[in-house]
Structure 1
Amino acid sequence: MASFLQISDDEKGHDLDLFCIPRHYESDLDKVIIPHGLIMDRTERLARDIIRDMGGHHIVALCVLKGGYKFFADLLDYIKVLNHNSDKSVPLTVDFIRAKSYCNDKSTNSVKVIGGDELSNLAGKDIVETGRTMQTLLSLLSECNPKMVKVVSLLVKRTPRSSGYRPDYIGFEVPDAFLVGYALDYNEYFRDLSHICILNEEAKEKYKM
């Protein structure tokens, strides 16, 4: 079972005034729930775990855009540092896929995958994947006969809507709230926010499509 850092349902979070928040978002957020520094420290540990488990394999790191790009880049930076400074290193190549499943704050029942025409190149490879809408993507990947697939997700949400799927590597288990920041968006806003924050109800209306 994957280990993770749990953010409890009654977590009070942190006052926005304690952090550097872009002025254009100050009125849109309830609180900071995971500060950027904590995200980075946890990501560094995930990188170490991946190197420990998969050292010696050639890994194709597949990023799920757009929400996964910051986590993906930071995770790969930590893996690169470990490759440079460790006896066990991982040959690494990267690829990208885009998946879209949200409209406003509601998850749709369909996942739109963009960029899957190159997945045939993954046959026989070890794949580490980052992102959210995993089951559709895992089904697509299985058709390409990869040697092994491991999923890394920064966040797993506790929600009654969950299918029960759990990634192989988890950063944080979080409450069932709509989270933005660190490349997670609400209708394309808030990707430029460094911390992971809870979006308030007024902002959901303000940025509604």
Structure 2
Amino acid sequence: MQESNMAGWQRKQTSVEKGIVIPDEWPGYPLELFSLPEHYSEDLDCVYIPHGVIMDRIERIARNILEDLGDHDIVVLCVLKAGYQFCADLVDSIKVLCRSSSKTLPMRVDFIRLKSYLNDQSTEVLHIEGAENLSVLSGKNVLIVEAIVDTGKTMKTLLNHVEAFKPKMIKVAGLLVKRVPSGTGYLPDYVGFDISNRFVVGYALDYNEYFRDLNHICVISDRGKLKYKI
């Protein structure tokens, strides 16, 4: 096992890649150190993962994907809405790497939308939009790109839907995996960050459709939850 520390974060390389593990006691960075939209000035507790760190980690994930799947055609299935920024930056990183690599990775991108949250709580009801178009995945190598995996139940439900269309292979890239007591233990094939059970927003992650316009991943404050509650 190889371990390295940076600002209290630990990246563990084992037989299963868990990404950068952010410990429960990680306080995040003070808001005043970053440029943030003024309209969210009192709605956030801290900057949890800065945008530059996110981008660097995505480049590493892109390298891993190219090493594993290079020279195969793949269908990238982006899980909306939260996954759109991660998917766009991941696809861009793979394209850049292909230009300087002996491997190539032809990609087509498709989209599916999932909704299972009300305010800051995951519900038992999962709405899937676009599932009727998944016949294009039949016989294909599929890379599902999801912004966040918490309990793992939503992802397992989606995988069952995708598997019904008989793709050749399925891999999952998750930017964030949240450690929650009710988790199923599901771990994506490619993980950006393993995080504590805090409600994070930004980088297209939302709270009732707000905060998608943040570049950084931040922890929402109690005031923010109350302000945008429905």
**TM band (smaller chain):** over 0.9
Q: Distance in 2 between matches of 1:118 and 1:50?
A: 25
1:150 aligns to 2:171 (yes or no): yes
Distance in 2 of aligned mates of 1:156 and 1:24: 28
Q: Which one of the candidate residues 81, 89, 92 is aligned to 2:104?
A: 89
Higher normalized strand content (fraction of residues):
2
- Determine which of 191, 204, 207 is the counterpart of 2:225: 204
TM-score, length of structure 1 as denominator length = 0.98
Q: How far 1:56 moved relative to its partner?
A: 1.3
Corresponding residue for residue 32 of structure 1: 47
Answering whether residue 65 of structure 2 is matched by residue 63 of structure 1, we say: no
Aligned partner of 2:203 in structure 1 is 182
Bigger relative contact order, structure 1 or 2 (CA pairs below 8 A, ≥6 apart) = 1
1:15 and 2:30 correspond? yes
- Within 1, Cα distance between the matches of 2:21 and 2:140? 32
CA contact 2:18–2:194 (8 Å) conserved in 1: no
Give the letter for the 2:193 counterpart.
F
Separation in structure 1 between the aligned mates of residue 122 and residue 18 of structure 2, nearest angstrom: 26
1: CA distance, partners of 2:144 / 2:77: 5
Sequence identity of aligned pairs in percent? 54
- In the alignment, what sits opposite 2:162? 141
Structure 1 position 3, deviation (Å)? 3.5
Q: Deviations over 1:20-54 (max 9, x none)?
A: 11000010000001000000000000000000000
Distance in 2 (CA, whole Å) between partners of 1:69 and 1:161 is 26
Measured after TM superposition, the shift of residue 134 of structure 1 is 1.0
Aligned partners of 1:6 and 1:32: how far apart in 2?
A: 16
Aligned to 2:11: none
- 5+ residue gaps, structure 2: 1-15
Counterpart AA for 2:197: D
| Residue 111 of structure 1, CA deviation | 1.2
Q: How many residues align structurally?
A: 209
RMSD: 0.7
Q: Indicate the residue corresponding to 2:192 in structure 1.
A: 171
Q: Distance in 2 between matches of 1:55 and 1:89?
A: 5
Gaps spanning 5+ residues in structure 1: where?
A: none
- The 1-side partners of 2:20 and 2:142 are apart by 24
DSSP 3-state at the match of 1:13:
coil
- SS of match in other structure, 1:177: coil
1:130 aligns with 2:142: no
| Structure 1 position 109 matched with structure 2 position 109 | no
